[in-house]
Amino acid sequence: MKITLIQPSIGKKKGEKYIGTWKMEPLTYAVIKSLIPEHIETEFFDDRVELIDYDTRTDLVLISVETYTAKRSYEIAARFRARGIKVVMGGYHVTLIPNEAEQFCDTVVIGNAEGVLNRILADLEMGNLKPRYEGRAQYAPILPDRTIYSGKKYLPVSLTETGRGCCHNCEFCAITSYYRCNYHPRPIDDICRDIEDSKHKLHFLVDDNLVANKNHFASLLERITPYKIKWGGQGTLSMAKDEKLLKTMKKSGCELILIGFESLNDDNLSAMNKNVNIAVKERDEYVKRIHDAGIGIYATFVFGYDYDNEKTFEQTLEFAKKHKFYTAAFNHLLPFPGTELYRRFEKEKRIIYDRWWLADEYKYGDVAFKPRTMSPEKLSELAFLARKEFASFHTVINRGFASMKRSSPLLWSMFWAMNLKLGEEVSEKMNVPLGRNLDELPK
């Protein structure tokens, strides 16, 4: 038996390369590869860095689908199914709206694959592949098989999973819907073995909220300190309440933490159910504490809630420039299917496209709903201009020298490589057509 794993792409502009920062290691596929028995032959195509061989001899195709890659995933599946090859799909998008996905494949996996993949393979061998399999949140006590990355060029950062899910209930978040506000920490022994197995010194700890389980996080920091790695991950601003924790994070190798500020407006935060930030009145002080601990901040903001206006963008940009963040994302709100936000916008008749992720006219950067205080086009434009301003040469220089004071030399070159090209990449991402121009070079 032979199985073909395929990582689908978002899309690219005709004649241009795929966006560089979208080329991270595809950890999901390394995990899946580790679950497949050794006697079964496997191959892996990464649509972001190479062409897919649609004529390959195979018995089964496995595709993990995200909302941005759904259109491309369905097109890839159609090519293989036309040859009579079975296609199994899983991932966040499939789990949240399986009724859509099952129209484009033979089998859908709802939830995590660890508990069901062997059953799927056994059923395939017996000629009895079922239309649906449901997995629960769990980890396999084996390491991701990173040999699957061989011959492919990715960013020099190892992705190391430390937890799945989040305990918060943000209205717009697909992770919240997927894990139903539950957090599932990965066993620390497995995390440590994973770090030992990595070829990189720079790690991104894959976890939607590292401090969702503070005891687990504290134990993890103690265990990874001797490895002398440098790492980044996702947390919350409230972690700065514990200055001892910040010092321990830095000692363990933390250089960068992604924090979803989302909005500086309390009414917007309340509408998001972002209660964790509403209690944080000392926002500036907490940012200072994180920076004083020698940790950079990747700040993310989202615009388009009902209390946003043009002045909101000015205030947020001023806040980001004042604190000289390592980097920042100025995103417009996007209603992902299966979320409370999407259901609310549907009820309020504010969704512009039936399914924006499949609409031919939708492009990356478009706004898929009707904002209260401005047009969709204006919201998209203001988010774009905020990104461009934050990526301007003068702003980058100011942020760069501040970041060099906080971070280790390993992060200095990374900062300049990332930020000096940031403005160019902001423009490259705008209007990327979903699912198009991927069966051509360059990649």
Distances (CA, A) of 199 to 22, 140, 160, 202: 20, 21, 12, 9
* Cis before 131 (ω within 30): no
Q: What is the residue whose two structure tokens read 């504490």? A: 289
Answer yes or no: are the C-beta atoms of 272 and 170 closer than 8 Å. yes
List the one residue out of 5, 98, 134 whose CA is nearest residue 59: 5
The residue assigned the tokens 């509403």 is 278
Burial 86-106 (b: 16+ CB within 10 A, else e): bbbbbbbbbbbbbebbeebbb
| Per-residue pLDDT, 278 | 46
Instruction: Give the pLDDT confidence of 253-306 residue by residue, as tens digits.
Output: 999 999 999 999 989 998 998 765 545 568 999 999 999 999 999 999 999 999
Q: For residues 420 and 422, what is the distance between their CA atoms, to the nearest angstrom? A: 6
- Residue 353 structure tokens: 């496209």
Which of 48, 41, 43 has the alpha carbon at shortest distance from 73? 48
Distance of alpha carbon 309 from the chain centroid: 27
Question: In sequence order, what DSSP letters do the residues of 52-67 get, joined into one string?
Answer: --TT---SEEEEE--G
Name, in order, each residue with C-beta under 8 angstroms of 256's C-beta and a sequence gap of 6 or more: 232, 295, 296, 297, 298, 326, 407, 411
Give CA–CA dist 201/405, Å, rounded: 20
Do 287 and 323 form a contact (C-beta atoms < 8 A)?
yes
Which residues does residue 329 pair with via DSSP β-bridges, in sequence order? 300
Helical spans, DSSP H, in 232-309: 243-252, 266-272, 275-278, 283-292
pLDDT in tens, 202-250: 999 999 999 999 999 999 999 999 999 999 999 999 899 999 999 999 9
H/E stretch holding 218 reads helix 214-224
Instruction: Tell me the pLDDT of the chain (443 aa) as tens digits.
Output: 999 999 999 999 999 999 999 999 999 999 999 999 999 999 999 999 999 999 999 999 999 999 999 999 999 999 999 999 999 999 999 999 999 999 999 999 999 999 999 999 999 999 999 999 999 888 888 899 999 999 999 999 999 999 998 877 788 887 877 787 788 899 999 999 999 999 898 999 999 999 999 999 999 999 999 999 999 999 999 899 999 999 999 999 999 999 999 999 989 998 998 765 545 568 999 999 999 999 999 999 999 999 999 999 999 999 999 999 999 999 999 999 999 999 999 999 999 998 999 999 999 999 999 999 999 999 999 999 999 999 999 999 999 999 998 888 888 888 888 888 888 999 999 999 999 999 999 99
pTM here? 0.94
Q: What residue ranges define each of the domains in the chain, with the CATH number in brackets?
A: 2-134 (3.40.50.280), 146-429 (3.80.30.20)
Q: Which amino acid is at 88?
A: V
Instruction: Name the average pLDDT for the chain.
Output: 94
Using CB atoms within 10 Å of the CB of residue 279, give its burial: 0 to 12 exposed, 13 to 18 middle, 19+ buried: exposed
For every residue of 348-411, DSSP letters joined together read TT-BSSSSTTT-TT-BTT---B--SSS-HHHHHHHHHHHHHHHTSHHHHHHHHHHHHHHS-HHH
User: Cβ(357)–Cβ(422) under 8 Å?
Assistant: no
Cα distance between residue 40 and residue 232, in whole Å: 35
CA distance 149 to 34: 13
Distance (Å) of CA 212 to CA 131, 184, 235, 276, 370: 34, 9, 8, 11, 33
Q: Which residue is listed with tokens 């979803």? A: 260
Q: What is the CA radius of gyration of the chain?
A: 22
* Tokens standing for residue 85: 């090859």
Helix (H) or strand (E) holding 310: helix 310-322
According to the model, what pLDDT value does residue 413 have?
A: 83
Q: 72: how many CB neighbours lie within 10 A of its CB? A: 21
- Tokens describing residue 322: 């004042």
